[in-house]
Amino acid sequence: MKRTDIHFRNKANYATGWFTMKTRIREYRTRLNLTQEKLAEMVGVRRETIIFLEQGRYNPSLRLAHNVARALQTTVEELFIFEDIERAED
Amino acid sequence: MRTKKIFWSVAIMALVVAVILIAVEAYYVVVAFVVGLLLLGHRELWSLLRRRKMPPIDERVRENTGKSVRNGFIFFAVTTAFLMLPFSVRLVEGPDTVQVLGALFIAAGVVYLFSYLYYDRVCPRLSEGSLKLFKTFLLVAGISLGAAIISIFLHNAIYALIMHFWGADFEEPVFFIIATIVCPLGLAVGIIGSLVIFFQGLFRKTS
C-alpha cells in the first residue's frame, strides 16, 4: 500500500524541527470498501479534503483526525503516524 | 442547511450589487464580478444542480477563506495607504476618486480570488521545489515593484538636488535605468513565472 510522507515545520515548538506524517487513510478506506466521496460524506467534509488528507498534504485538526478515525473504525494513532527527523537531515 | 442559507444570502447580495453596478453603467465591473463569483462558487452550484445539496464548509475551506480575506484586506490597506502618500495624492482627488476606489476594490477581489485558489487547489498539488520556485518568483516581482518606486523617487531627488546646488540640468542615469529597464524586466519575469507555476498547480490532477 502506498504511503505518503510529508514534512511539516512545527511552529509551536521550533526546537523539535521537522517531523514526518504518514497517513494510512487510503489503506483503511479500501479495507472498508468506501469511496472517497462516501468517506467525505460520513465525516462531513469535502472530497478534496479527503484527497489531500490521503496524500498527506493537509495537516488536519485533532477533531477532524478523530472523526476520520471513527468513520474508519480505528484510532488516530493508527491513521496518522508522526516521526521526528533529525534537524541535520534538512 | 446552514451552507444553503449562506449560499442564497450571498447570491441575493451579489444580485443586488450587480443591479447597482448596471444602474451606474459599470458593465465591465459587472462582468468581472459575475465571473469571479462563478469561479469561486462553481463547486457549490454544480453540487446544488446535481445532488440538490450543498457541499459542506469544512475546516479546510474555512481556513482558506480566512487566509484569502486577510490577503485581500492587507492588499487593500497597503494600496490605500500608498495612495495617501503626498506624491500620489493627486490620484484620489477630484472626479476620479470613485474610479480609483472602484479599481482598488476590484483588485482586492482579484487578490482574494487568486489567494483562495492558491490555498485551496494550487498549494496542495505543488511539490516542495515548485512551491519554493513560486515564492521566489513572487518575491522577485515584489522586490522589482518596490525597487522601481524607490528608484523613481531617488532619480527625481538627485536631479532636484543637483539643480538646486549646482544649477546644472543633469539627468541621473543609474536609477533611471533601474526604474525603466531592470525593474520592469524583473516584474515581468516574476509575474509570468509565478503565473505559469500557479496554473500548472491549478490544472494538475489529483488521484
Question: Is A60 part of any domain?
Answer: yes
pLDDT in tens, A59-82: 899 999 999 999 999 999 889 887
Contact, A21 vs A59, CB < 8 A? yes
Task: Assign B142 a pLDDT band (cuts: 50, 70, 90).
Answer: very high
Q: How many angstroms separate the CA atoms of B185 and A81, rounded?
A: 46
Contact, B111 vs B72, CB < 8 A? yes
- pLDDT at residue number A88: 42
Task: Write down the H helix ranges in B86-127.
Answer: 97-117, 123-125
Per the structure, the complete domain to which residue B3 belongs is given by: 1-57
Which of B43, B61, B206 comes nearest A51 by C-beta? B206
Among B87, B197, B83, B84, residue whose Cα is nearest residue B140: B197
Number of folded domains in chain B? 3
Q: How many angstroms separate the CA atoms of A18 and A39, rounded?
A: 30
pLDDT in tens, A38-67: 999 899 998 889 998 988 888 899 999 999
| Chain A nearest CA to B50, separation (Å) | 14
Residues B204 and B140 in one domain: yes
Residues B156 and B182 in one domain: yes
Query: What is the pLDDT averaged over residues B135-148?
Result: 93
What are φ and ψ of residue A77, in 5° steps? -65, -35
Residues B180 and B131 in one domain: yes
CB contact under 8 A, A60 and B206: no
Residue A47: CATH number of its domain: 1.10.260.40
Residues B206 and B163 in one domain: yes
Among B124, B131, B128, B106, residue whose Cα is nearest residue B194: B131
pLDDT in tens, B64-116: 989 999 999 999 998 888 877 766 656 556 666 777 777 888 888 889 889 99
Per the structure, the complete domain to which residue A35 belongs is given by: 17-84
Number of folded domains in chain A? 1
For residue B43, the chain A residues in CB contact (below 8 A) are 46
The answer, yes or no, to whether residue B42 has pLDDT greater than 80, is no
pTM for the whole structure: 0.74
High-pLDDT (> 90) share of chain B, %: 27
Question: Is A2 part of any domain?
Answer: no
Question: Is A9 part of any domain?
Answer: no
- The dihedral sign for the CA sequence B121, A8, A58, B66: negative
